[in-house]
Structure 1
Amino acid sequence: MGEFELIRNFFAAAPCAQGGEGVALGIGDDCALLAVAPGEQLAISTDTLVAGVHFADPCDPFLLGQRSLAVAVSDLAAMGATPVAFTLALTLPTVTADWLQDYARGLNLMAQGCGVALVGGDTTRGPLSLTMTVFGRLPSGQALVRSGAQAGDLMCVGGELGNAAGALPLVLGQRTADPSIAGSLLAHYWSPQPQLALGRALRGKATSALDISDGLLADCGHIALASKVGIQVERSKLPVSAPLVAFLGQAGAEEAALSGGDDYVLAFTLPSVELPGLLAAGWPIHVVGRVVSGQGVTLLDNDGRDITPQTRGYQHFRETT
Structure 2
Amino acid sequence: MSGADEFTEIARLFRPLTGGAIGAFDLLDDAAIVPQRPGFDLVVTKDAIVEGVHFPVGEHPGLVARKLVRVNLSDLAAKAAEPFACFLAVAWPKAFGPAEREAFASGLGEDLRTFGVGLLGGDTVSTPGPFTASLTALGWVPQGGMVRRAGARVGDVVAVSGTIGDGALGLLATQGEVEDPAGWLAERYRLPSPRLDLRDVLRGAASAAADVSDGLIADAGHIAAASGVRLSLDLDRLPVSAAAAAWLATQPHQSQALAQLATGGDDYEVVGTFRETPPGFTQIGRVCAGAGIEVSVGGSPVEIGRRGWRHI
TM-score calculated relative to the size of structure 1:
0.89
What is the distance in 1 between the residues matched to 2:210 and 2:54?
Answer: 19
- Equivalent residue, structure 2, for 1:65: 65
- Equivalent residue, structure 2, for 1:316: 311
The 3-state SS of whatever aligns with 1:88 is strand
What is the distance in 1 between the residues matched to 2:26 and 2:150?
Answer: 34
What is the distance in 2 between the residues matched to 1:299 and 1:72?
Answer: 28
Tell me how far 1:54 sits from its aligned partner: 1.3
What is the distance in 2 between the residues matched to 1:43 and 1:26?
Answer: 23
Tell me how far 1:133 sits from its aligned partner: 0.4
- Equivalent residue, structure 2, for 1:159: 162
Matches within 5 A, 1:1-80: 2-13=5-16, 16-19=17-20, 25=25, 27-80=27-80
Aligned residue type for 1:146: R
Distance verdict in 2 for CA 1:60–1:174, change over 3 Å: farther
- Equivalent residue, structure 2, for 1:130: 133
Matches within 5 A, 1:123-202: 123-126=124-127, 127=129, 128-179=131-182, 183-202=183-202
Tell me how far 1:23 sits from its aligned partner: 5.2
Aligned length: 302
Distance verdict in 2 for CA 1:7–1:25, change over 3 Å: closer
Distance verdict in 2 for CA 1:299–1:123, change over 3 Å: same
Distance verdict in 2 for CA 1:113–1:238, change over 3 Å: same
What is the distance in 2 between the residues matched to 1:144 and 1:23?
Answer: 27
The answer on whether the counterparts of 2:91 and 2:132 sit within 8 Å (CA) in structure 1 is yes
Tell me how far 1:8 sits from its aligned partner: 1.7
- Equivalent residue, structure 2, for 1:233: 233
- 2:264 is aligned, of 254, 260, 264, to 260
What is the distance in 2 between the residues matched to 1:262 and 1:172?
Answer: 15
- Equivalent residue, structure 2, for 1:307: 302
What is the distance in 2 between the residues matched to 1:177 and 1:220?
Answer: 28
- Equivalent residue, structure 1, for 2:99: 98
Name segments (4+ residues, structure 1) moved above 6 Å: none
- Equivalent residue, structure 2, for 1:117: 118
What is the distance in 1 between the residues matched to 2:305 and 2:175?
Answer: 26
The 3-state SS of whatever aligns with 2:205 is coil
What is the distance in 1 between the residues matched to 2:110 and 2:248?
Answer: 31
Tell me how far 1:65 sits from its aligned partner: 1.3
What is the distance in 1 between the residues matched to 2:24 and 2:59?
Answer: 35
Tell me how far 1:25 sits from its aligned partner: 4.3
The 3-state SS of whatever aligns with 1:316 is coil
The 3-state SS of whatever aligns with 1:33 is coil
Tell me how far 1:247 sits from its aligned partner: 3.8
What is the distance in 2 between the residues matched to 1:7 and 1:248?
Answer: 47
The answer on whether the counterparts of 2:78 and 2:270 sit within 8 Å (CA) in structure 1 is yes
What is the distance in 1 between the residues matched to 2:305 and 2:260?
Answer: 15
Tell me how far 1:245 sits from its aligned partner: 2.6
Moved more, 306-315 or 289-298: 306-315
Tell me how far 1:302 sits from its aligned partner: 1.6
Return 5+ residue gaps in structure 1 as ranges: none
The answer on whether the counterparts of 1:259 and 1:312 sit within 8 Å (CA) in structure 2 is yes
What is the distance in 2 between the residues matched to 1:302 and 1:192?
Answer: 30
What is the distance in 2 between the residues matched to 1:268 and 1:85?
Answer: 25
Tell me how far 1:170 sits from its aligned partner: 2.3
Tell me how far 1:105 sits from its aligned partner: 1.8
Distance verdict in 2 for CA 1:27–1:253, change over 3 Å: farther
CA RMSD of aligned residues (A): 1.9
Aligned residue type for 2:121: G
Moved more, 292-301 or 2-11: 2-11
The 3-state SS of whatever aligns with 1:141 is coil
Alignment identity in percent? 35
What is the distance in 2 between the residues matched to 1:177 and 1:201?
Answer: 33
Tell me how far 1:309 sits from its aligned partner: 1.2
TM-score calculated relative to the size of structure 2:
0.91
Q: CA offsets, 1:87-111, max 9 Å, x none?
A: 1100011241211122122212221
What is the distance in 1 between the residues matched to 2:112 and 2:140?
Answer: 16
What is the distance in 2 between the residues matched to 1:263 and 1:244?
Answer: 12
